[in-house]
Amino acid sequence: MFETAFSLAKKQRWSPYLASGVTPLDELLGGGFEVGLSYLLYGSPHVTQLLLRCAANTLRHVAPSRGVIIIDGNKDASPSAVLDELKAKSLLGNPAALLEHLHVARAFTTDQLLSLLTEAPSILQQTRAPILFCANITNLLQQEEESTIPRSQGGRGASGSSSPFRRAQLAAQLKHLAFSQKIVVVASAENGKSPETGPKRIGDVARHSFQVHVHLGHRGPIDIMTLEKHPSLPWQQRGTIPTLLA
């Protein structure tokens, strides 16, 4: 079927998808990240690398007219780590120049993380960023829970008692940002040592607040991405695609 160049350009211009640049992930998602949705990438420690690779690839395609924002909760999403991903693509020219359009904020407490999300709309407008990455969102909550001293034997610690609410509040705020700002929100969360601790660390209420779930696991030396939930792809639930991130 013949299609005019004008039709193709119009379709590309108004596409609701933003490609991650990670081919297996884009195939799994049916074209890329969908504007207005919040995504949760969780699973193995490689999930942080997956998020950084998505951030670097997005930066390549939207700069210099638009920016990319990362909120880091675990010292992993530094500009130098994104630059390493850019260099891995063997880009011509000066990949470091793209970092001028990368905006990274570090949260040291959950209060700071929630405060950054409150300020995010104004930063999104200034940078015209189409996507917000939130790296390892459960790390701060986990650290605060582990450092909590019980008030009494069998009692609850001060921050531990509020952790389910904080998780739900964080997930709801990310979902609202995606919808209200018409952007893509991508958050990552690493599992604990046991494969079963991933959903527990995120929390059921918080996890289900995200509209799309992508689990990253292993099968031998290969990483396996599994699409577990997507409102636009109900027929593709539990779809699985292998990838090599290392």
Give the pLDDT confidence of 44-68 residue by residue, as tens digits.
888 999 999 999 999 999 999 999 9
Name the DSSP letter for residue 128: T
Contact of 116 with 174, CB cutoff 8 Å:
no
* pLDDT for position 245: 76
Which residue is listed with tokens 């008030």?
Answer: 151
Residue 117's domain comprises 16-142+160-243
Q: Is the pLDDT of residue 1 over 50?
A: no
Higher pLDDT, 141 or 72: 72
Residue 120 has pLDDT above 90, yes or no: yes
What does the alpha-carbon distance between residue 224 and residue 241 come to, in Å, rounded to a whole number? Answer: 6
- Asked, for residue 5, whether it belongs to a domain, the answer is no
Has residue 147 been placed in a domain?
no
Give CA–CA dist 22/219, Å, rounded.
19
Write the CB contacts of 86 (distance below 8 Å, at least 6 apart in sequence). 56, 59, 60, 95, 96, 98
**Residue 235 to residues 19, 177, 221, 238: CA-CA distances in angstroms?**
21, 27, 28, 9
Split into its structural domains, the chain has a count of: 1
Residue 70 lies in a domain: yes
On whether residue 91 sits in a domain, the answer given is yes
Q: How far apart are CA 179 and CA 172, in angstroms?
A: 11
Residue 112, domain member (yes or no): yes
- Contact call for residues 68 and 101 (beta carbons, < 8 A): yes
Q: What is the dihedral of CA 102, 172, 136, 184, to 10 degrees?
A: -40
CA 214 to chain CA centroid, nearest Å: 10
pLDDT at 155 over 60: no
What pLDDT score was predicted for residue 95? 87
Q: What is the pLDDT of residue 167?
A: 83
Query: Residue 94's pLDDT is what?
Result: 84
Angstrom CA distances, 118 to 36, 74, 86, 194, stand at 17, 19, 29, 33
**Is residue 87, in this structure, part of any structural domain at all?**
yes
Question: What strand order describes the sheet that includes 184-190?
Answer: 102-106, 68-72, 131-135, 184-190, 38-43, 212-219, 222-229, 239-243
Convert the pLDDT of each residue in 64-102 to its tens digit. Answer: 999 999 999 888 888 999 999 998 876 667 888 999 999
Q: What is the CATH number of the domain that holds 191?
A: 3.40.50.300
Task: Give me the pLDDT at residue 199, please.
Answer: 53
Q: Is residue 126 part of a domain?
A: yes
In a domain, 9, yes or no: no
Q: Please state, in angstroms and rounded to a whole number, the distance separating the CA atoms of residues 99 and 69.
A: 11
